[in-house]
């Protein structure tokens, strides 16, 4: 279910402004790749 929503979100950034350039995989994963490491305060390592 989550993956199904992730696909259209990546193709339609207008629907979800939080993931305009982030790759399909979730906002958390996208931020880590976008920033490089990702802020530990906002995104603690699992």
Domain extents in the chain:
2-35
State how far the Cα of 31 lies from the Cα of 18, in Å rounded to an integer. 10
pLDDT band at 27 (very low <50, low <70, confident <90, very high): low
> Smallest Cα–Cα separation from 5: which of 38, 27, 21?
27
H or E element at residue 30: helix 27-35
- Residue 46 confidence (pLDDT) above 50: yes
Q: How confident is the model at residue 38, as a pLDDT?
A: 47
What does the pLDDT average to over 1-9?
Answer: 50
CA atoms within 13 A on the CB side of 34: 16
Instruction: Let me know the angle formed at the C-alpha of 37 by 43 and 13, rounded to the nearest 5 degrees.
Output: 70
φ/ψ (deg, to 5) at 37: -115, -35
pLDDT band at 13 (very low <50, low <70, confident <90, very high): very low
Q: Give pTM, 2 decimals.
A: 0.12
């Amino acid at each position: 279910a989550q993956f199904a929503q992730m696909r259209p979100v990546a193709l339609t950034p207008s629907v979800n402004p939080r993931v305009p350039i982030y790759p399909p995989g979730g906002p958390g994963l996208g931020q880590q790749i976008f920033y490089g490491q990702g802020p530990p305060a906002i995104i603690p390592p699992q």
